[in-house]
Amino acid sequence: MIETPPQEAIHLLDDFPSVDTADWEAAIRRDLKGADYDSKLTWRLEDGIAVRPYYRRNMLERMGQTARPLQAGTIVKPEPVTVPAEAIRADYLHDAGATPAQELAFALAEGVERLATAFGSGAGLQVAQGRIEFVYAVGSLYFVEIAKLRAARLLWRAIVCAFGVEAEDVREPRIHVRTARLNMSLLDSAINLLRVTTEAAAALIAGCDSLVVEPWGWDRQLAENIERILREEAHLTRVADAAAGSYYIEALTDALAQEAWSVFQHVEADGGWSAALKSGAVEKALEESRGRKADAIAGRQQTLVGVNNYPNDSDDLTLVDEPPPFSSDPFRQSRLAEPFEDLRRKAGAQLKETGRVPRVLLLKRGDCRISSARANFCLTFFGCGGFEVVEAEEYSGEDADLIVLCSSDGEYEAFAADISPRTSAQVLVASDPFNGGEYLKKAGVQGFVHAGSNILEVLTNWQDKLNGRNHTK
């Protein structure tokens, strides 16, 4: 028998003494070298919630935040999803464009109305609260979605207690989860697979009671396998509350709960859930938040991988099928990728009709570092519209519908003056034009492409122009 020598105790707190928060902040500000702290490091959610670059225990103590784990000793065992017909469908709100705080607040408002109705009809509160179940959709903001579901439990507990139920008698709400549709795309099924994997993981870590992963461009069995892998290999269902104690997630949970409670109070002050639906206030709020999301995608303030950035140029222009719509959904549903899918459909139709799609030549000159960076930017930019994109160092009369000059700002005027007279193609410049770029327009430049461009407007504009041009060739 081989004896194992005794192990010495490890005292990590002695070897790595704590560092005061003020020291961390001082080090960060030194590294920023005068840059604005908030604009560089603070992330703002669409609800306006500011998320710090890091959290420490003392920050949560100042917020009055403490860990709120699931009931001790419980093991989450998501079932095959069988959503009751009377469940509160917060998932419809998500796919209609609701912010996380709106999802929580509107679901709460409907839940309060149902509790009040049940109580008014003579049902005991214990019976009434046990009848109410929720369905949430989980999107790609991994930590936010974990916090959202944790906040849902926290808020529901506060609601039930407000009806007079003792804290120890509050029953945890049953929360059913499905993967979201709002962020799904018909353009790249592999990216959809990655999306639903992180979404499913977030739902399990947050302690959902049931989960369904919807297939988008791949077989139903693969969707089921995602759940099996997360359950049997990652063991995500064997931990009572994996997120409890994470300062970051606890802070997000608290912030979302507070913001949702504020929205909920406004709904209640205006007459409650039914009144908000009847007045159109809910649809108006969803329309506004949906519009902000769409604008963020069109302007690339938010990235939807494979849609408005990093397109898969090895894919053909055939779009995958999407699941059928929900028959009982009362809200206008949309997906953020739909305008870009329309561009790809048009490109596919043009390819079928004429045998080609608009061809973009990225012509590089001058400083290699700058010209290559701008060419790479344009490669993904025009690829999102289904355009054929090629690169060259010299212009030799290549067949192209668009020529994009990729160089440094100081070289563009001479570059444009050289190329524009030699081609019938439209000439663009990869740069943000200074003073409207009038001097470049005089040199024959027809437009500009840069990081501040609205990609959807630019691609739509040039696709329409070039389709007409190609039909007359």
Residue type, 171: R
Please count the other Cβ atoms lying within 10 Å of the Cβ belonging to residue 430.
25
Q: What is the dihedral of CA 25, 26, 30, 33, to 10 degrees?
A: 60
Q: How far is CA 49 from CA 46, 260, 296, in A?
A: 7, 11, 17
* 3 state DSSP class of 368: helix
Ordered DSSP codes for 219-244: -HHHHHHHHHIIIIIS-GGGSS-TTT
Sheet of 388-392: strands edge to edge? 388-392, 359-364, 402-406, 426-429, 447-448
Helix (H) or strand (E) holding 359: strand 359-364
Q: Matching CATH topology for 79-298 and 348-471?
A: no
**Phi, psi of 209, rounded to the nearest 5 degrees:** -90, -25
Q: Which residue from 293, 296, 357, 339 is spatially nearest to 460, judged by alpha carbons?
A: 339
* pLDDT value at residue 324: 86
| 196 close to 214: Cβ distance less than 8 angstroms | yes
The rounded distance, in Å, linking the Cα atoms of 335 and 413 is 41
Instruction: Tell me the whole-structure pTM to 2 decimals.
Output: 0.88
| 379 close to 391: Cβ distance less than 8 angstroms | yes
The rounded distance, in Å, linking the Cα atoms of 278 and 95 is 20
* pLDDT value at residue 154: 92
The rounded distance, in Å, linking the Cα atoms of 383 and 391 is 13
Q: What is the CATH number of domain 79-298?
A: 3.20.20.240
Please count the other Cβ atoms lying within 10 Å of the Cβ belonging to residue 141.
18
Q: How far is CA 414 from CA 248, 404, 439, in A?
A: 52, 14, 11
User: Does CATH place domain 348-471 in 2.70.70.10?
Assistant: no
Please count the other Cβ atoms lying within 10 Å of the Cβ belonging to residue 451.
12
Looking at the chain, the number of H-run helices and the number of E-run strands are 18, 12
The rounded Cα 457 to chain-centroid distance in angstroms is 21
* pLDDT value at residue 73: 32
The rounded distance, in Å, linking the Cα atoms of 222 and 214 is 10
* pLDDT value at residue 470: 54
- For tokens 């604008």, name the residue: 295
Q: What is the chain's pLDDT, residue by residue, as a tens digit (473 residues)?
A: 556 666 677 777 777 778 888 999 999 999 999 999 999 999 899 899 999 998 888 777 665 544 444 433 333 444 444 777 889 999 999 999 999 999 999 999 999 999 888 877 767 777 778 788 999 999 999 999 999 999 999 999 999 998 888 888 888 889 999 999 999 999 888 999 999 999 999 999 999 988 999 999 888 888 889 988 998 899 888 877 888 888 999 999 999 999 999 999 999 999 999 999 999 999 999 999 999 999 999 999 999 999 999 998 766 656 778 888 888 888 988 899 999 999 999 998 888 898 889 999 999 999 999 999 999 999 999 999 999 999 999 998 878 999 999 999 999 999 999 999 999 999 999 999 876 788 898 999 999 999 999 999 999 999 999 876 554 44
- Domain borders along the chain are 12-63, 79-298, 348-471
Ordered DSSP codes for 142-167: HHHHHHHHHHHHHHHHHHHHHTT--G
